[in-house]
Structure 1
Amino acid sequence: MRIIGIDPGSHRAGYAVLEKNSSRIRILTYGTVEAPSGTQSPDNLLILRKGLREVLEEYKPTIASVEEMFFAKNKKTASRVFESRGVLLITLAEKNIQILEPTVSQIKKGTTGSGTADKKQIRHALKLLLNIEPLKGHDDSWDAVAAAYVGLSMSSSPLLKIKR
């Protein structure tokens, strides 16, 4: 089973593709798709879409775990992130990839056991769970690995099989 985890942003989206064989989970690739700072909409959205398509074509995941977004403060930032999230979701849907949408607290709890864990605790937990060295690049990559890891757990739920 291959799953892609995605951490959406307005100009950068973290991604990670994990593969599970029996009980072994390994990271096949991770990174970020980025539009240069200052790129206006919809050009930034086209760049994110193109980058995601390239990852999907190469690794062919069957499930995606896209972090659910929650913003309470800056509505302008939230609007831009929701735009890119929508583009990423539709790109996945076009490839007929089943989409899971864990919340931030589900991702925290699924990796560390605590729904209030911070980024440092999540990184430490992922290093132990996946037996990996620290990842290079942006935090978005770690967030995408965490989303994919939790998505793997969610994908084995009997409730998910009912929805299919």
Structure 2
Amino acid sequence: MRVLGIDLGSETLGWGVVEGSGLKYALVDYGTVKSSPREPFSKRLLKIYDGVEAVIEKYQPDAISVEEAFYAVNVKVALKLGQVRGVVLLTGEKAGLEISEFSPRLIKQTVVGYG
């Protein structure tokens, strides 16, 4: 199975593609989708959509993994990340991918062993 993991960000969205099965996965590639805070937010969302769509087209993942919604002290930041998350979920759904959502805390615990 090939999985595209997304680290949400409105200025820099990170992505990584892994392939494997069970508990053994190997890195295929990784990168970022960047957008300028000087651009209108709607244009930044379009750039994120186009960037994630290009990654999906290039690497043909079977699934996409995205952080669940979380609470932030700064409401404006939380709203923007929610919109970015919606764009990523829409892009995955349009591509027919299986979508998995995980809490940021679970991801950190899995990767680094604590959190």
Q: Which whole-Å CA distance do the structure 2 matches of 1:75 and 1:27 have between them?
A: 34
Structure 1 partner of 2:84: 84
TM-score by length of 1: 0.65
Match for 1:53: what amino acid? Answer: E
> Displacement, 1:69?
3.1
Is 1:11–1:48's contact at 8 Å kept on the other side of the alignment? Answer: no
Structure 2 partner of 1:147: none
> Displacement, 1:21?
5.5
Q: Which has the higher contact order (CA 8 A, sep 6+)?
A: 1
Give 1 or 2: higher helix fraction: 1
Structure 1 position 45 matched with structure 2 position 45: yes
The runs of 5 or more residues in structure 1 that have no matched partner are 117-164
Match for 1:51: what amino acid? Answer: G
Q: Which whole-Å CA distance do the structure 2 matches of 1:85 and 1:53 have between them?
A: 14
1:71–1:44: structure 2 CA closer, same or farther, 3 Å change rule?
Answer: same
Structure 2 partner of 1:121: none
Give 1 or 2: higher strand fraction: 2
Output one character per residue of 1:106-145: Cα deviation in whole Å (capped at 9) or x when no partner: 112212332x2xxxxxxxxxxxxxxxxxxxxxxxxxxxxx
The alignment-based identity, stated in percent, is 35
TM-score by length of 2: 0.91
- 5 Å-filtered alignment, 1:129-144, equals none
Structure 2 partner of 1:93: 93
Q: Which whole-Å CA distance do the structure 2 matches of 1:72 and 1:54 have between them?
A: 29
**Runs of 4 or more off by more than 6 Å in structure 1?**
none
Structure 1 position 32 matched with structure 2 position 32: yes
Q: Which whole-Å CA distance do the structure 2 matches of 1:11 and 1:47 have between them?
A: 10
The runs of 5 or more residues in structure 2 that have no matched partner are none
Equivalent pairs, count: 115
For 1:9, what is the secondary structure of its paired residue? coil
Structure 2 partner of 1:103: 103
Is 1:12–1:48's contact at 8 Å kept on the other side of the alignment? Answer: no
Q: Which whole-Å CA distance do the structure 2 matches of 1:22 and 1:106 have between them?
A: 17
Structure 1 position 13 matched with structure 2 position 13: yes
Q: Which whole-Å CA distance do the structure 2 matches of 1:65 and 1:84 have between them?
A: 14
Q: Over the residues paired in the alignment, what is the CA RMSD in angstroms?
A: 1.5
Q: Which whole-Å CA distance do the structure 1 matches of 2:98 and 2:25 have between them?
A: 19
Q: Please tell me whether Structure 1 or Structure 2 has the larger radius of gyration of its CA atoms.
A: 1
Q: Which whole-Å CA distance do the structure 2 matches of 1:95 and 1:72 have between them?
A: 30
Output one character per residue of 1:3-27: Cα deviation in whole Å (capped at 9) or x when no partner: 0000111222110000116764221
